[in-house]
Amino acid sequence: MMLAQLVLPLLLTSAAGSGNEIVLILDNSCSMGVEARDQTTGRRVPPNDPERAAVLGTLVVEGLARGSADRVSVLAFGDGKEAPPRPAQSADDIRALPYSNGTYFRRPLEEAGNRLRGSALQNRLFLFFTDGIPEDLRDPAEGPRALGLSESADFETLVIGLFGSDEVRQTGEQFLQPLARNPQDLVFVQTPREVIGAFTRGYARVLGSRPETGSLSSGESKTFEVGKYVVEVLVATASASPGPAYTAKLDGPQGDVPSQASGNNGCPPGIRYSGAPRLCQPPHRHYQVFRAPNSPDQRSQWTLSLPRGSGPIDYGLILRYDLEASLAVPSTARVGEPVQLDARLLFRGKTFDDETFFQADGFTAVATLEGQEVPLRHAGGGRFVADWTPSQPSVDGAATPVRVTFRNAWMEQSARRTVQVEGFIDFALVPDPASLDLGEWRGERRETQRCSTVDLSRSTNADRIPITCVSEGSVEGGVLSCSPVAGSEADLGNGRKGQPLKYQVCFAAEGCCGQLAPPGLGVRFAATHPHYAGAAVLVPTRAKVGETGWLRCWWPWLALAGGMLFFGWVVMGFVRPNNFDPAASVYVAGSELGLKRASALVLNETPGGRRGFYRNARMCLNAGGDFVRAPRAAVLVLEAGPGGSTRFVTAAGLERKVQRTGKWEPVPAEELALGYTPNVLYRIGNLYMKWS
């Protein structure tokens, strides 16, 4: 585990202008460091902490607090049920604590409670580390009574259990769980290497910081950026395994930072335990901690390094912000009545409002109440608010605790208050109107709906107790809904908004619906708290919807289909007709000799020579030899066919010249449908023609 994380306790020591009280009960029973034998089986039972990791963790805590306003008191078990606990203040006292012959909880718990309650320091923490089951307690409830732990107790807790077997752990947990204020305050570890990490994580939560941890090998360094609002930089280091001493180096904006404390977890000279002859012998595990001030008004850069030749070390880094959480709540509340929580961070005694800070490093703000976490929303100006509706009265008259916590990657600041939650208030619902008639209407192609409003203003305390509105009854093709009307929230005075007093009830008929006249429809108004279940009321609701009708429902689709057909017809009218071959041309003259001097006319360029709407391209020639557009005025009409073919539509008296004989002959009627033959001379009346 990262021994360096023990830096977290320093947060206690570094609170500006005030200190913190830490009372640590350290289990010094023989099972921690001395081998034993099972009295039933005779088998050897190894110690649970042969590396004295718990001692090392305690030494780091003491070293971080040394010379500060914080006070660390260590209490160890005595040698009998009524023997007073053994105290330790200095590092030498902690190393010299002897292993006791029993596991006695009561007297250390009583002394720890007295010291915590009698302390005038700002924050207080009870820390308990043990690997056994108490020999002087029979009822698990005796432990918190001896400590004086209750909802009103003004100190935090962290309980760490180190057990050699699951069976022992299950028994020990019965006695340790009641000593933890919150479920997360009880931590179990499996090996001595985990002990220091457990100490650290607990301190991080209690002392308002969240560490960055890692390890360094010989010759390596770690550079880290420190942002604004950080008033102190804390670093703890520890050797990863027993070995020689090392000297780490911390450099900040002002240069080299001197070590706050260092040493190892060995026993004082001359101490030796017959059951564990190597327990106090080297090599030992070493530690070194640093603490230095930092300017909160600007960013800075720090570097932790390990000189070559040293063994690997674990480190922990803490940035202590000059921020403090605050929480404002009413001193009393009633079950079912909403209460607003108003929390904020304070910087130098003033509300802290830095939107960039709130958006960075995973910043969150939550309230913990009645065993649940509720997110806080930023209301602007540094205020974080949430609405809480107590669900039950305070137990046995003791005030209900409310806690808010601000977290980011580096810090965790909390504030705690209590609210005396009183019993249930009078509650009655009087809806106006008592029944709803949404009327009759005919369905349409699209969804249609009719709405009405129910007013609860005449009800008793409907403005203070959260209410739900749920529709009852169902029908295929329609939906009944109910929702609060925006802006109808009651005014509770002092700028506080209560519950909505108006609800909109709507029946929506789906498009193209059939006949709808659903029976048994209604909306039920009820308080969210089950205590008020008997006050629920049903508002019967009537709605009648006529059948949409086939044509009304489908006419857009019919119109669309007709439109598509019409569009296709129009397109085909332009696409389907035939055009002349673009290269086809005609010569026209009043005599055969004149054809030789006539100019060719491209058929596509004659009047009507291009296809029209549902009309093939055509060439129309009147008796005077002029090209015309109207076929009725023409003596010869040539029309384009598919694939460049042509046909004569009008050609009465059309003749062609036979090249072999030089004579003219009429064009047979059956050949008129085959159109012209290129380069053949044709005549009709006194007009001569040739197509090419």
**Residues whose CB is less than 8 angstroms from the CB of residue 391 and which lie 6 or more positions away in sequence, other chains included:** 335, 336, 370, 529
Residues ≥6 apart with Cβ < 8 Å to 403: 327, 367, 368, 369, 414, 415, 416, 417
Count, residues in the chain: 692
| CA–CA distance, 49 with 28 (Å, rounded to integer) | 10
CB 271 within 8 A of CB 202: no
Query: What is the 8-class DSSP label of residue 325?
Result: E
pLDDT of residue 15: 37
Is the pTM value of this prediction over 0.85?
A: no
pLDDT at position 17 is: 39
| pLDDT confidence of residue 9 | 33
Please enumerate in sequence order all residues whose Cβ is within 8 A of that of 343, keeping only pairs 6 or more positions apart, or say none. 325, 326, 327, 328, 365, 367, 376, 383, 384, 385, 404, 406, 415
pLDDT in tens, 347-396: 988 999 999 999 988 999 999 988 788 999 999 999 999 988 887 888 76
Which helix (H) or strand (E) segment holds residue 537: the answer is strand 537-546
What residues does 506 pair with on adjacent strands?
Answer: 451, 481
CB–CB of 548/443 below 8 Å?
yes
For 53-102, the DSSP string reads HHHHHHHHHHHHHTTSS-EEEEEE--SSTTSPPEEE-SHHHHHHPPPBSS
Q: How far is Cα 61 from Cα 198, in angstroms, rounded to an integer?
A: 13
**Residue 483, pLDDT score:** 94
Please give the distance of CA 82 from its chain centroid, rounded to a whole number. Answer: 54
d(CA 13, CA 177): 27
> Which amino acid makes up residue 635?
V
Closest CA to 355 of 332, 379, 339, 331: 379
Provide the pLDDT for residue 207.
61
Q: Report H helices in 495-625.
A: 550-575, 592-597
Q: Which amino acid is at 614?
A: Y
Q: What is the pLDDT of residue 397?
A: 67
**Mean pLDDT, 10 residues at a time, over the chain (692 residues)?**
34 46 89 77 79 85 81 91 93 91 92 93 86 89 91 83 79 90 84 68 65 88 91 85 92 94 90 82 90 90 92 85 90 86 92 92 90 90 91 78 89 87 88 93 89 94 90 88 93 80 94 87 92 92 89 86 92 90 91 88 90 91 90 91 90 90 90 90 91 89
Distance, in Å, from the CA atom of 8 to the CA atom of 23, rounded to the nearest integer, reads 15
- Measured distance between the N- and C-terminal CA atoms of the chain, rounded to whole angstroms: 102
Q: Which residues contact 624 (CB under 8 A, 6 or more apart)?
A: none
β-strand partners of 491: 497
Report DSSP state, residue 476: T
The pLDDT tens digits of the residues spanning 536-564 come to 999 999 999 988 888 888 888 889 999 99
Q: To which residue do tokens 């930092």 refer?
A: 294
- Alpha-carbon distance of 513 to 136, in angstroms, equals 78
Which residues lie below 8 Å from residue 367, measured CB to CB, with a gap of 6+? 341, 343, 373, 374, 375, 376, 386, 388, 402, 403, 404, 405
